[in-house]
Structure 1
Amino acid sequence: MNRFMDVLENVLMPLADKLNNNRYLTALRDGFMVALPLIIFGSIFVVIANLPFIDRLMTEATYAQYQELIGSASSATLAIMATFVIVGIGYKLTESYGGEALFGGVTALAAFLILIPQHVDETTGVIPVGVLGAQGMFVGIITAFVSAELYRFFVNKNWQIKMPSGVPDAVSRSFSSLIPITMTLSFFLLVRIAFSFTPFETVQNFVYTSVQAPLTALGSGLTATIIAVLLTQIFWFFGLHGQIIINSVLDPIWFTLAGENLDAYNAGNELPHIVSKPFMESFIVGIGGSGMTLAVIIAIFLIGRSRQLKQLGKIGGPPGLFNVNEPIIFGLPIIMNPLVIIPWLFAPVVVTIFTYFTMAAGLVPAPYGAIVPWTMPPIISGALATNSWQGAVLQVVNMAIVFVIWWPFLKVMDKQYYENEQSEGKPTKTA
């Protein structure tokens, strides 16, 4: 066990440290955080528009009108989430260099819009909404990174218009950014023109064919999902926030998969993916937090004789209902505790495999794309993510699986804590 832990520490700790401190992954993560409130707002109204059985309470015409009125909330946020992510990434990356963050954000958005073909079929002067959402996510991310770097490059070259003293600061900063923004956007205009002479015709077609489609296919597979879950648990075991590290890399893929599912759901088509952001949030992380520790808390209440575990259950229970599990991670403890490494690593993997095949078999619908807030308590979140009661039942079964896997290890820990308390003369009963 010690040798195994040494190998993990020597291999994964340096990797995690590099990922955690990588400027681009940090900007990517923070960019999604900027967009997240808007994405959740849109998702809430997708859920409201598609509440189970609501269509049976209205006439067909009334239901259609209801969905049209409610639908504008998601159309203005969730359907064009790539635009918010782009602004967030451009802003955060420029800010990390100490530049004018706001100009970095809007320049990234403008560069992205320049690359978009502004026509739909025979109609010109319009932007296809699809490329502003999941379909355009990867182009947007790449564009935001490149535009922020170009903007910084031209600023560092001091290609700026200097205004005399006495000019208002807002005006002076606008003119100072004029040349860097012009040069950056001109570069993207040239890129658009160059691609118009290629077989791909647009940057979107090129990136989707060569980057987005292969990555989304990889990210939607069970193997890649298991690896992501396992790495999340390993990083947490060594005291690193595994969810943030893994999400920084895979959120673009998972959000894209969720967007494609939502598009298919709204069109009345079969959902193309099982794995997506709601799959991870509602059925893996969303059952007490990373490691699905709500089941651990329930087990503690049922088997705990030691004062330490009883107190931990009382402290960790309320936040655990809302998927906040730091009290369990640091109080059990989980970090660097060899007694829990087996259930901590493998319980989420078993649940991931079980959930995937349950949905693949059609016993439970796959999440249809709405992003349920990660603090939503289990059972409710499962029903909302799948728009079905089966999703709630699956979460209960998942908790039972985790409970069974953790049970013998908690018994050993509780016995150890209890005997230590007895030997030290501590009381074992609480009021």
Structure 2
Amino acid sequence: MEGFMSWMTESFAPRVNKLAKNPWIAAIQAAILAAMPMVLVGSFATILSIVKDFWKGFPDFSMISTFSFGLFSIFLAYLIPESVMNHKGHKDVAKQAGLAGLGFFLILVYPQISKDGGHITFDLNTLGSGGMIAALIAGLFVGFVMNLFSKWKFIHEDSPIPDFIAAWFNTLIPITIILLIGWIFTFEMDANLYHVVNTIVSPLVNLGQGFWGMVIINFLAFGFLYTFGISSWVLYPVQSAIFLPAIAQNQANFEAHKAVTNIFTNEAMFLFLIGGGGATLALVIMLSFMAKSKRLRMIGRASFVPAIFNINEPVVFGAPIVFNPILMVPMWICSLLGPILVWVVMKIGLVPIPHRPFQLWYAPAPIQSWIVVESIRGLIFVCIFFAITWIVYYPFFKVYDKQAVKQDAELAEKGE
């Protein structure tokens, strides 16, 4: 175990953290996070839609979701190339890259234009999270081209020409090439790049949407990597590419009176992220009210309120769980049990599969459970899983608390 911990500390964790700081990966993360307020607005619309289910005279706010979460791919098409250029140090042409990404994506999704040119029609599904992967690839391609041409400038920084005019001329060729490629494929070759891209990547998405994909990805993000100080946000681009299109498809199927089948959604994950990644709320309660160590009791109480709202950095880094073999193991166990049990109960129909987007991850688990599945069965599952996490954490907590009491006594003797 000591050899494994040493390897993780000195080799694995630094490499993963370095990978997370790669400008291309960091650009995707930054773009998705920048667009999250629009997703959150769509989540508020979901809450209002639930009210309408019980009060028929309540206004229909579904269009708010349509023009927030429902346009997620458009936002990414702009934000990803802009973010790439910012991370590559080309901030002077970042906005132009974003505009090129937006134009290229709208060509990519195969718009229908009337013969007189007066009307253009888009499939709304391609503009929301359903087109997210196409937007991701389009944005990275645009970022690549714009970054490549930023090395060859017509007008250099020492030129007396104003910066905004220099940006015009320095981006003319790459933007022309980008839009020309889109024009050739869509309007000359009559190829639907949106369908091509989705066909190519669909096996990977389907693999991620399966049982093992859900279990492994969630275990890595919220359990294994997290206990080595590697933020779960490292895998967020991978997760979001799977669960955002999945919830969009679930919503479309539900509205069309078809079966809702995609289990690996962010909404389903809320059922086992009780107190945050690794379901640490049970541990926080133990630390707050049962710990004999004054130090652990203080950490637990400082972490208690954040944990209710699924923020567990205080306990993960304060107790600490990170690089602590005693508390890492139960966190790994809970990070495996959570997705496994959610998959099972939803697959056999004990708990309904979520069909509406809800991204307010900081809402307390009991509230989330009722909103995302719209059934008391979600709340019952959360209570049962909380009891399971309590059983898992308790023996490890007792061992660590005993160890902490001994350490506190030793420090007191040394006058520290």
TM-score by length of 2: 0.90
CA 1:121–1:277: 2 relative to 1, 3 Å: farther
Shift of 1:185: 1.5
Q: Does 1:91 align with 2:82?
A: yes
Aligned counterparts of 2:32 and 2:188: Cα–Cα separation in 1:
30
Shift of 1:349: 0.7
- CA offsets 1:174-229 (integer angstroms, 9 cap, x no match): 34433332232222222334652xxxx31112112121x21221111121122112
Over 3 Å counting, the alpha-carbon distance change for 1:161 and 1:412 in structure 2 is: closer
Partner of 1:284: 272
Distance 2:241 2:155 in 1: 34
Residues 293, 320 of structure 1: 8 Å contact kept:
yes
The alignment partner of 1:283 has SS state of coil
Q: What is the alpha-carbon distance in structure 1 between the residues aligned to residue 340 and residue 32 of structure 2?
A: 27
Q: Counterpart of 2:66? A: 75
Q: What's the CA shift string for 1:351-372, capped at 9, x where partnerless?
A: 2211111111211112224133
| In 1, Cα distance between equivalents of 2:411 and 2:160 | 73
Deviation at 1:334, TM superposition (A): 0.8
Partner-residue secondary structure (3-state), 1:284: coil
CA gap 1:266/1:183 in 2 versus in 1, 3 angstroms: same
The match for 2:107 is 114
User: 1:153 aligned to 148, 151, 172, which one?
Assistant: 148
Q: CA deviation digits over 1:85-123, x for unaligned, max 9?
A: 221111100111222211111111111111222229999
Post-superposition CA distance 1:264-292 (Å, at most 9, x none)? 23333221201112223x1233x211211
1:50 maps to which residue? 50
Structure 2 counterpart of 1:105, one-letter code: G
Query: CA 1:9 to 1:194, structure 2 compared with 1: closer, same or farther past 3 Å?
Result: farther
Aligned in 2, Cα 1:424/1:35: closer, same or farther, shift over 3 Å?
closer
For residue 41 of structure 1, report the CA deviation from its aligned partner. 0.3
User: Match for 1:256 among 245, 259, 278?
Assistant: 245
1:178 aligns with 2:172: yes
SS of equivalent residue, structure 2 residue 28: helix
- State the distance in 2 between where 1:385 and 1:11 align: 40
Q: Does residue 349 of the first structure (1) align with residue 336 of the second (2)?
A: yes
Distance 2:405 2:390 in 1: 21
The yes-or-no answer on 1:370 pairing with 2:357 is yes
Query: 1:156 offset after TM fit, Å?
Result: 2.2
- Amino acid of the structure 1 residue aligned with 2:64: A
- How many angstroms apart in 2 are the aligned matches of 1:266 and 1:170? 47
Residue 139 of structure 1 deviates from its aligned partner by: 1.1
Q: Secondary structure at the match of 2:365?
A: coil
The answer for the alignment partner of 1:419 in structure 2 is: 406
Equivalent AA in structure 1 for residue 34 of structure 2: V
Counterpart AA for 1:309:
L
C-alpha distance in 1, partners of 2:394/2:225? 23
Equivalenced residue count is 408
Aligned residue identity for 2:175: I
Stretches of structure 1 that go unaligned for 5 or more consecutive residues are: 427-431
Q: Say whether the 8 Å CA contact 1:303–1:411 is kept in structure 2.
A: no
Find the counterpart in structure 2 of residue 37 from structure 1. 37
- CA distance 1:14–1:423, change in 2 (3 Å): closer
Counterpart in the other structure of 2:19:
19
The one-letter code sitting in structure 1 at the alignment partner of 2:207 is L
CA contact (8 A) 2:23 2:88 kept: no
Partner residue of 1:429?
Answer: none
Letter in 1 for 2:238: V
Going from structure 1 to structure 2, the CA distance change for 1:55 and 1:228 (only over 3 Å counts) comes to closer
Corresponding residue for 2:128? 133
Secondary structure, aligned partner of 2:150: helix
Selected match of 1:238 from 228, 231, 235: 228
Aligned to 1:225: 214
CA–CA separation in structure 2 for the residues paired with 1:283 and 1:8: 30
Q: Following the alignment from structure 1 to structure 2, what is the Cα–Cα distance between the partners of residues 348 and 156? A: 45
1:205 aligns to 2:198 (yes or no): no
Q: 1:13 to 1:88 in 2, by over 3 A?
A: same
- The structural deviation recorded for 1:142 is 0.6
Q: What letter is aligned with 1:284?
A: F
Runs (5+) with no aligned partner, structure 2: none
Which position in structure 2 is the counterpart of 1:389? 376
Amino acid at match of 2:55: L
Secondary structure of 2:153 counterpart: coil
Assess if the C-alpha contact under 8 Å between 1:351 and 1:401 holds in 2: no
Q: Residue 50 of structure 1: SS of its match in structure 2? A: helix
Letter matched to residue 147 of structure 2: R
| CA–CA distance in structure 2, aligned partners of residues 264 and 175 of structure 1 | 47
Please give the TM-score of this superposition, normalised by the length of structure 1.
Answer: 0.87
Give the Cα separation in 2 of the matches to 1:369 and 1:28: 25
Report the AA paired with residue 376 of structure 1.
A
| Whole-Å separation in 2 of the counterparts to 1:317 and 1:36 | 26
SS at match of 2:137: helix
- Structure 2: how far apart are the matches of 1:355 and 1:366? 10
CA deviation map 1:56-92 (0-9, x unaligned): 433xxx46xx33xx11101111112111122111110
Aligned AA (2:106): L
Partner Cα distance (1:75, 1:189) in 2: 28
Name the CA distance, whole Å, in 1 between partners of 2:412 and 2:207: 56
